[in-house]
Amino acid sequence: MTRIYLSPPDVGIDDQAAIQRAVESGWIAPLGPEVDAFEIELATMTQRAHGVALSSGTAALHLGLLALGVGPGDRVLVSSLTFAATANAVRYTGAQPVFVDSDRSTWNMDPDLLAEALDGDSRFAACVPVDIYGQCADYARIEALCAQYEVPLIEDAAEALGATYRGKKAGSFGVMAILSFNGNKIITTSGGGALVTDREDWARQARWLATQARDPAPHYEHSTIGYNYRLSNLLAALGRSQLADLERRVEKRRDHNQFYSEALGDLPGVGFMPEGDGCRSTFWLTCLTIDPSEAGTDREQVRVHLESLDIEARPVWKPMHLQPVFSECEAVGGSVSAELFEHGLCLPSGSNLGDEDRNRVVAGIRDLFEP
Ligand SMILES: *Cc1c(COP(=O)(O)O)cnc(C)c1O
């Protein structure tokens, strides 16, 4: 039996052909027709006017914050339950993240805690809610709060490409959004990301900063510190091919979620990440929670047992307010995400996960409940 991975890349013959065609076209650079077309398709997919294809989602966050003028001395509100990239990008600019805890009903940024933070004495340069595990945050309230306090909102939709919230696409909320095409995400370019926005000036600035901030001159002239953040034309070709298959990928992951819920929902102390009101999640990863007082086992025992069966499962993100590197940062609340980390486990959820493998995962978990 082969190892079952959490969320491996799903790359097929069409994808290989797309890369091959791009190689044959001769555009082997961080510019070219595939990049241009990918950017238009990403903008369309996220209901935005502009897309900027970049080397990672982290780079997109960094350039997005720079476009807003975020810098040293600024504070930025960030979901505590996220991957470190969201908070790292804030630090790249010299600003400080302020972590906001999760709402139990969505696992996303708690709008009540956000309201509390905004109502205090601090001013915030930006707010970055994360669409965790592919489910959009409560943008009806979060967008209204950010508008009321005039704090620009960047949606971290790295895990949510293909999700919707009240009929609007993930990536369409706030003044800009970021996407990731890392190897484990819904679509992949092996590594890559994008910034999407309606603001033409921000898109232009991001492209310029991402190509070492070259001023217009026949020689190399620079008046600003730039970055090497553009996506290559070859990888954009892969991204376009993957994007054309997005709906099937999301359906697969949603089907895994339903399968796991039905196959494990009867177990004592086992719960699943809820799908919020008006949300259609990608279920990038299916996450369950194990309450040890009812289950007679715990998250870590289940994880270790699955590992012994060559099945990769991972604890839910360790919240940023509990990370040593961010221990000096301010936090608003924190007990909900701390509990989700303690009890939460992410199950194999790749769009190429087969029926037999899913059954193996379920049987492995049931082992610990039915001795
Ligand atoms: C993956 C991810 C990122 C970063 O994307 P990269 O392309 O890996 O840099 C940012 N935020 C969240 C929530 C992610 O899951």
- Show which of 205, 220, 244 is a domain's final residue: 244
Is the separation of the CB atoms in 102 and 133 below 8 Å? Answer: no
Whether residue 158 sits in one domain with residue 27: yes
Q: Is residue 371 situated within a structural domain? A: no
Which CATH number do you get for residue 312?
3.90.1150.10
Same domain, 227 and 312: no
Tell me which residues of the chain have a pLDDT lower than 70: 371
Q: Report CA(129)–ligand 1 centroid distance (Å).
A: 13
Same domain, 190 and 261: no
User: What CATH number is associated with residue 72?
Assistant: 3.40.640.10
Q: What is the pLDDT of residue 29?
A: 82
Using the 3D structure, point to which of 212, 227, 244 is the last residue of a domain: 244
Q: Is 85 in the pocket of ligand 1 (CB under 6 A)?
A: yes
233 lines ligand 1 (CB under 6 A): no
- How many domains is the chain built from? 2
Paired tokens of 263: 């196959």
pLDDT at 1: 79
| Alpha carbons 181 and 274: distance in angstroms, whole number | 25
User: Are 221 and 283 within one domain?
Assistant: no
**Cβ density class 131-151: b for 16+ within 10 Å, e for less:** bbbbbbbbbebbbebbeeeeb
Cβ–Cβ under 8 Å, residues 353 and 257: no
Q: Does the residue 6 lie in any domain?
A: no
Q: Candidates 83, 189, 190: which one to mutate for ligand 1, based on the most atoms within 8 Å of Cβ?
A: 83
Is residue 122 in a domain? yes
pLDDT of res. 30: 81
Query: pLDDT digits over 68-104, tens only?
Result: 999 999 999 999 999 999 999 999 999 999 999 999 9
Residue-level pLDDT at 370: 74
317 lines ligand 1 (CB under 6 A): no
Do 333 and 99 meet the contact criterion of CB atoms below 8 Å apart? no
Residues 171, 130 share a domain: yes
pLDDT at 371: 63
Q: Nearest CA to 249 among 42, 55, 7, 68?
A: 7
139 in the same domain as 211: yes
Which of 151, 142, 173, 133 lies closest to 46, judged by CA? Answer: 173
Share of the chain above pLDDT 90, in %: 97
Chosen domain end from 224, 244, 264: 244
Q: Is residue 3 part of a domain?
A: no
Q: 85-107 burial string, b = 16+ CB within 10 Å, else e? A: bbbbbbbbbebbbbbbbbbeebb
Q: Which range marks the domain in which residue 338 is found?
A: 246-366
CB 20 within 8 A of CB 172: no
**Residue 130, ligand 1, Cβ within 6 A:** yes
Residue 8 lies in a domain: no
